[in-house]
């Protein structure tokens, strides 16, 4: 069972109770849990982040982490895996051995990234991470509030983590927009604002918006999106 917590693209953060149910369900089914927690340090809502490894006594957990998200260095594809398995199931079934064997034959990250890691980990101060979380807390609120001003777009849930949010397009409000891809293409051409069509993520007529940007630029971009929607609105 694979879970992504905090979630991309919705910015959701699972509660302790929800994660406990996941662990017990996986135990009942006789499977282990792969927990993608690359956004684990980027939470800013009311729900605190709980690592899935806390349930390692119930079910084996393989946790994935990444330097590119916490340190905000997109493209630095270097991460880690942590096994939380109090009962030794993954070791007994040689899953750990298989993972280690695969790592020995896989392509390594770029050497300059490997060389930078010790210094980055040792010398990054807590205020660096605090500033990132404070910024995302502020911009997530801006994004959520500004989207509420756009009639044809709905944000069903204010993000509690990560740096993205999914919003729903109501095509019934728009005159000449066929789908989410058409919306994104025309928005980029007319307003120089880039969004990801939901179809790329399996959600037809949704958009993924990132709020990992300085507040002023985010407000400008969302104002442009509002102008775009008003310009393409159906005449009622």
Mean pLDDT, range 200-215, rounded to an integer: 95
Q: How confident is the model at residue 197 (pLDDT cuts 50, 70, 90)?
A: very high
Residue 45: what pLDDT? 93
Residue 36: what pLDDT? 97
Cis omega (within 30 of 0) for bond into 6: yes
Mean pLDDT, range 47-63, rounded to an integer: 97
Per cent of the chain over pLDDT 70 is 99
Classify residue 178 by its DSSP letter. -
List pLDDT tens digits, range 138-161: 999 999 999 999 999 999 999 999
Phi-psi group of 213: left, alpha or beta (phi > 0 → left; psi -120 to 50 → alpha; rest → beta) = beta
- What is the residue range of 138's domain? 127-231
Same domain, 213 and 188: yes
Mean pLDDT, range 203-224, rounded to an integer: 97
Question: What's the pTM value of the predicted model, to 2 decimals?
Answer: 0.89
Same domain, 13 and 114: yes
**Last residue of one domain, picked from the residues 69, 102, 123:** 123
User: What is the number of domains present in the chain?
Assistant: 2
Same domain, 25 and 78: yes
pLDDT reading at 109 higher than 90: no
Same domain, 42 and 152: no
Helix axes 215-231, 126-147, angle to 10 degrees: 20
Whether residue 115 is contained in a domain is answered as yes
Residue 63 pairs with which residues in a beta bridge? 35, 82
Q: How confident is the model at residue 183 (pLDDT cuts 50, 70, 90)?
A: very high
**Last residue of one domain, picked from the residues 99, 123, 147:** 123
Residue 32: what pLDDT? 96
Whether residue 236 is contained in a domain is answered as no
Q: How confident is the model at residue 236 (pLDDT cuts 50, 70, 90)?
A: confident
- CATH at residue 211: 3.90.1150.10
Secondary structure class of 140 (helix, strand, coil): helix
Residue 51: what pLDDT? 97
pLDDT reading at 104 higher than 80: no
pLDDT reading at 102 higher than 90: no
Residue 180: what pLDDT? 98
- CATH at residue 62: 3.40.640.10
Cis omega (within 30 of 0) for bond into 84: no
pLDDT reading at 231 higher than 90: yes
Same domain, 203 and 149: yes
Taking the alpha carbons of 51, 124, 136, 69 in that order, is the dihedral positive or negative?
negative
Same domain, 119 and 28: yes
Q: How far apart are CA 50 and CA 220, in angstroms?
A: 34
**Last residue of one domain, picked from the residues 123, 152, 184:** 123
Same domain, 145 and 206: yes
């Amino acid at each position: 069972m694979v879970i992504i917590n905090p979630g991309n693209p919705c910015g959701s953060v699972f509660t302790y109770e929800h994660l406990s149910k996941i662990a017990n369900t996986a135990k009942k089914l006789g499977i282990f849990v792969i927990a993608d927690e690359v956004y684990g340090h980027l939470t800013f809502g009311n729900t605190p982040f709980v690592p899935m490894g806390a349930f390692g006594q119930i079910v084996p957990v393989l946790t994935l982490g990444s330097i590119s998200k916490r340190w905000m260095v997109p493209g630095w594809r270097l991460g880690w895996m942590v096994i939380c398995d109090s009962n030794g199931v993954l070791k007994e079934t040689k899953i750990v051995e298989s993972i280690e064997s695969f790592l020995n034959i896989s392509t390594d990250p770029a050497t300059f990234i490997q060389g930078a890691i010790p210094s980055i980990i040792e010398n990054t101060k807590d205020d660096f991470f605090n500033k990132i979380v404070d910024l995302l807390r502020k911009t997530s609120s801006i994004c959520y509030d500004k989207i509420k001003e756009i009639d044809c777009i709905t944000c069903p849930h204010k993000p509690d983590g990560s740096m993205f949010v999914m919003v729903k397009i109501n095509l019934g409000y728009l005159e000449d927009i066929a789908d989410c891809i058409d919306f994104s293409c025309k928005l980029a051409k007319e307003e120089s604002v880039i969004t990801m069509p939901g179809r790329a993520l399996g959600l037809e007529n949704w958009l993924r918006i990132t709020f990992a940007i300085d507040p002023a630029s985010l407000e400008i971009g969302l104002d442009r999106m509002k102008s775009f929607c008003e310009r393409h609105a159906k005449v009622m």
